[in-house]
Amino acid sequence: MLPPMADMMTKMSSAIGGLLIAYAMFQNYFPYELGGPIKRYTQKFISFFYPYIEITFPEYHGDGFERSKAYAAIQRYLNANSTKHAKRLQANVVRDTESIVLSMAEHEEVTDEYEGIKLWWASSVTTPDRQSISFYPREDEKRYFKLTFHKRYRDLITNNYLKHVLDQGKAITVRERRRKLYTNHKSEGCESMWSHVIFEHPASFDTLAMDPRKKQEIVNDLINFTNSKDYYAKIGKAWKRGYLLYGPPGTGKSTMIAAMANLLKYDVYDLELTAVKDNTELRKLLIDTASKSIIVIEDIDCSLDLTGQREKKKADKKEGYQNGKKKDEEKDQIKEKLKELEEEKNKTSQVTLSGLLNFIDGLWSACGSERLIVFTTNYVEKLDPALIRRGRMDMRIELSYCGFEAFKFLAKNYLDIDSHELFATVRQQLEETKMAPADVAENLMPKSGSDDVETCLRRLMKALEEAKEEERRKAEEEEKQKEGEEEGKKKEMENGKHEKLENEVKENGEANKGSDEGENLENGGIENGK
């Protein structure tokens, strides 16, 4: 497979060198030590006429522990590009899957072409000469790839071709890698706090029902982010981006995260804040995440009482600034504080808002790169403004109830229809009733083989009708409750007024009495003093 000339020269070189050494040693003309220099000089002599350059890429670095990234990238590149031409292949089963990947067998050679230039790749392995007994017979073997090309292309190959191979290899690795869904658990000892399963969510932006313009905007934003490594470096910002997804339950927040991960081929770290002991543990978890990943904190409003903690502190501060507090009020405050501390102690998670803010954009957040941080919530108004300010959450995306556009999208997806005579009624119903896309999708899905398009649409219409009825009933109940509350307030106010009046009368009476007594005392005092 090697160029005939190169092949011949290589063989000649080893043959001549080998012969000379063997002859010399056999004849005992030269001492054994001269074998090495002879070999070296023969190689020099041959290389003078040899027009090819060889570069080797060993599998492990010098210390033998760290696998070379270049070797791995070349392997991917060659598997994808050159194995079609190789005659001897090696089959490997990929971990976590049943799929088989073919790669070049040992001592196999393949050719590659770059800008019209022919190159030769060979996969080789050297086994040590020494006889040793090892439990792991293959551990001493050293694998490497050897690239051979004509020396006149030296610059082009070393400057451009090798970069091309490494880039392609890395891109294939990212494309083919099995992505992972991580979740954190309570730490025990020094083991990693993340455990993972293979991430196999089928969601994509193509199947996500939402306003097409808004969807395109999000997709563009994500793609722009992945291509902005240099830009982030230029402006001196860590290469990460925050998204806040908010909206009622079942509107596609979690689905959108899965679609984001599938679009960018990122891993997902689903961070369960309530399982994180404290801020230090939160930082450890952050350091333990890889690049090209999405860190997700779902239902941020429920995860921790982050908002409450801050609100309470603010209220305490405000109270603290006010002077002239009555003693028993202070006592109440102390009692409350003690209760709070007790509650805090009992709480499993001690993560604070400032800890979380540091997690998002503190100094530590810059270790690792190309990361998205996504928060989801059903109640955006409950969140502390500090948590969602621009810069922390760069993009806020509202996912809301199903509109007609989203319905049409779901109908196409679930029933494969673009229009139907019942669409007009559905449109009107959707305008009058709030229904999450999850419920619309559930109703559109055929429940049995006999369900045709009309059955599914009518089921949705019935569900919408029921939802409308439910909404009306709830509104009525709320109205009644409101009326009841207002009535109660009115009564309370009247009672309060009454009580106040009574108190005032009482206080006035006592004051009058007091002032009479005071006057008497004063008079008496003057008298005594006299």
Ligand X SMILES: Nc1ncnc2c1ncn2[C@@H]1O[C@H](COP(=O)(O)OP(=O)(O)OP(=O)(O)O)[C@@H](O)[C@H]1O
Per-residue x/- marks for ligand X, 305-344, CB under 6 A?
----------------------------------------
User: Which string of x and - marks every residue 424-443 that binds ligand X (by CB under 6 A)?
Assistant: -------------xx--x--
297 DSSP β-pair partners: 375
Among 42, 184, 254, 433, binds Mg ion (CB under 5 A): 254
Q: Which residues fall within 8 angstroms of residue 472, CB to CB, at 6 or more apart?
A: none
- Which residues, in sequence order, are CB contacts of 257 under 8 Å at separation 6+? 245, 268, 294, 296, 374, 376
Cβ distance to Mg ion smaller for residue 123 or 254: 254
Cα 445–Cα 448–Cα 450 angle in degrees, nearest 5: 110
The nearest distance, CB 255 to Mg ion, in angstroms, is 8
Stretch that binds ligand X, among 107-115, 162-170, 248-256, 304-312 (CB under 6 A): 248-256
64 vs 508: CA distance, rounded Å:
94
3-state class (DSSP) for residue 3? coil
> What are the angstrom distances between the C-alpha of 328 and each of 325, 335, 388, 405, 462?
9, 10, 39, 61, 60
- Residues in 153-212 that interact with ligand X by CB under 6 A: 208-210
Contact between 249 and ligand X by CB under 6 A: the answer reads yes
19-58 positions binding ligand X, by CB under 6 A = none
Q: Is the dihedral of CA 101, 102, 103, 106 positive or negative?
A: positive
Q: Lay out the site mask for Mg ion across 203-242 (x = CB under 5 A, - = otherwise).
A: ----------------------------------------
| Intra-chain end-to-end CA distance of the chain, in Å | 132
Q: How many amino acids of this chain bind ligand X (CB under 6 A)?
A: 14
The total of other beta-carbon atoms located within 10 Å of residue 494's CB is 10
Given Mg ion, ligand X, none, residue 252, with its beta carbon under 5 to 8 Å by kind, binds ligand X
Residue 441 site contact among Mg ion, ligand X, none (CB < 5 to 8 Å, cut-off depends on kind)? ligand X
Q: Is residue 123 part of the contact set for Mg ion (CB under 5 A)?
A: no
What dihedral angle (degrees, nearest 10) is formed by the CA atoms of 77, 81, 85, 88? 30
Number of residues that bind Mg ion (CB under 5 A): 2
**377 binding Mg ion? (CB under 5 A):** no
According to DSSP, residue 205 is labeled G
Least CB distance from residue 298 to Mg ion, whole Å?
6
What are the distances in angstroms from CA 217 to CA 112, 161, 232, 295, 491?
A: 41, 36, 20, 21, 54
Q: How far is the CB of 436 from Mg ion (least distance, A)?
A: 11
Q: How far is the CB of 296 from ligand X (least distance, A)?
A: 11
Distance of CA 148 to the CA centre of its chain: 41
Q: Which is nearer to ligand X, 298 or 370 (CB)?
A: 298
Only segment of 96-104, 110-118, 137-145, 251-259 that touches Mg ion (CB under 5 A): 251-259
CB of 306 to ligand X, least distance (A): 18
**In the bound complex, what is the minimum distance in angstroms from residue 450's beta carbon to ligand X?**
23
Q: DSSP secondary-structure letter at 158?
A: I
Q: Is 253 in the site for ligand X (CB under 6 A)?
A: yes
54 versus 405: smaller Cβ distance to ligand X: 405
400 binds ligand X (CB under 6 A): no
Q: How many CB atoms lie within 10 A of CB 51?
A: 13
Say if residue 447 is exposed, middle or buried (CB neighbours under 10 Å; 0-12, 13-18, 19+). exposed
Residues 368-387 that bind ligand X (CB under 6 A): 378
Which residue of this chain has its Cβ atom nearest to Mg ion in the complex? 254
- Are 169 and 76 in contact, with CB atoms under 8 Å apart? yes
Tell the smallest beta-carbon distance from residue 249 to ligand X (Å). Answer: 3
> Pick from 399, 15, 423: which is nearest to 208 by CA?
399
Residues of this chain that interact with Mg ion (CB under 5 A) are: 253-254
Residues of this chain that interact with ligand X (CB under 6 A) are: 208-210, 249-255, 378, 437-438, 441
